[in-house]
Amino acid sequence: MTPEELLKKGLNELGFLYSKDQIDAFMIFLHELKKWNRVYSLTALKTDEDIIIKHFLDSILYLKAISPSPLRGEGWGEGLKVADAGTGAGFPGIPIKIIKPELDMTLIESSRKKSVFLRHIIRILKLNGISVLNNRIESLGKRYEKTYDVIVSRATFKIRDFLKKACPYIKEDGWLVLSKGPKVSEETNFLDEVHRQSVMKEVITLPFIKAKRTLLMFQCQK
């Protein structure tokens, strides 16, 4: 199976529509990621199959969790301001942006070399409505307070740490979204009662490898 066929099959299994241009964008992203990875070690994943399944499709799962969504019932719509905290080499932010180009996306990444790569990918894919902040989310400052409708992350934040760091930058009715693996209950058990009541869960199976992902959606408490 070619990389294009693998990606299309995975998107079909997840129920997402796509165009030829979107598939082409993913293939360019794949090529550039592998090329830059040889020099800059952007990701531990090396093969086409691993990158497509464990990076591309795993990132797109975020859309599956929130569309249709608790966001006023609208899903991920035009002008929605989304931030990806600790995006690394662009996950989940860039795959989300490719599938939903109408979103206003901010990629937050503290590594300078990864930020350079992200700007290169944005330029080569000719993506509009997307920017890179070379910073840590907890260091963004007052300028970005209450800016985003949704903040997502695949970074290795503990849930409580993510809530503490991200909540200042989310709008009053916004959502924080984290993806967790099989040990998610160990973390949610330690949340305070307020946040346990505010969490929404969506368990989704990643195509091909049948791994379970638990997407947790939080609203910050006033």
The CATH number that applies at residue 52 is 3.40.50.150
**Does the pLDDT value for residue 44 go beyond 50?**
yes
- Contact indicator for 163, 195 with CB cutoff of 8 Å: yes
**Does the pLDDT value for residue 57 go beyond 60?**
yes
Higher pLDDT: 201 or 208? It is 208
| Alpha carbon distances (Å) from 219 to 18, 161, 180, 194 | 30, 14, 17, 10
- Contact indicator for 68, 139 with CB cutoff of 8 Å: no
- Flag the least confident range among 57-66, 134-143, 186-195: 186-195
Number of neighbouring beta carbons within 10 Å of residue 122: 19
Residue 17: pLDDT band with limits 50, 70, 90: very high
The reported pLDDT for the residue numbered 101 is 94
- Report the sign of the C-alpha dihedral through residues 38, 133, 178, 78, in that order: negative
Percentage of the chain surpassing pLDDT 90?
Answer: 67
**Does the pLDDT value for residue 185 go beyond 70?**
no
Residue 72: pLDDT band with limits 50, 70, 90: very low
The reported pLDDT for the residue numbered 74 is 52
Rounded distance between C-alpha atoms, residue 50 and residue 172, angstroms: 37
- Mean pLDDT over 185-198 rounds to 61
Range of the domain at 193: 3-218
**Does the pLDDT value for residue 197 go beyond 70?**
no
The DSSP bridge partners found for residue 148 are 170
- Mean pLDDT over 12-22 rounds to 95
In terms of DSSP H, where are the helices of 41-135?
Answer: 48-51, 58-66, 93-99, 112-124
Higher pLDDT: 173 or 132? It is 132
The reported pLDDT for the residue numbered 78 is 74
Higher pLDDT: 220 or 103? It is 103
**Does the pLDDT value for residue 173 go beyond 90?**
no
| Alpha carbon distances (Å) from 187 to 47, 157, 159, 216 | 31, 11, 7, 11
Please list, in sequence order, all residues whose beta carbon lies within 8 angstroms of the beta carbon of residue 56, skipping any fewer than 6 positions away. Answer: 7, 10, 26, 29, 30, 95
The reported pLDDT for the residue numbered 215 is 87
- Mean pLDDT over 175-184 rounds to 81
Q: What is the mean pLDDT of the chain?
A: 89
Return the exposure string of 186-195: e unless at least 16 CB atoms fall within 10 Å of the residue's CB, then b.
Answer: ebeeebeeeb
Q: How far is CA 179 from the centre of its chain?
A: 9
By three-state DSSP, how is residue 220 classified?
coil
**Does the pLDDT value for residue 193 go beyond 70?**
no
* Counted domains in the chain: 1
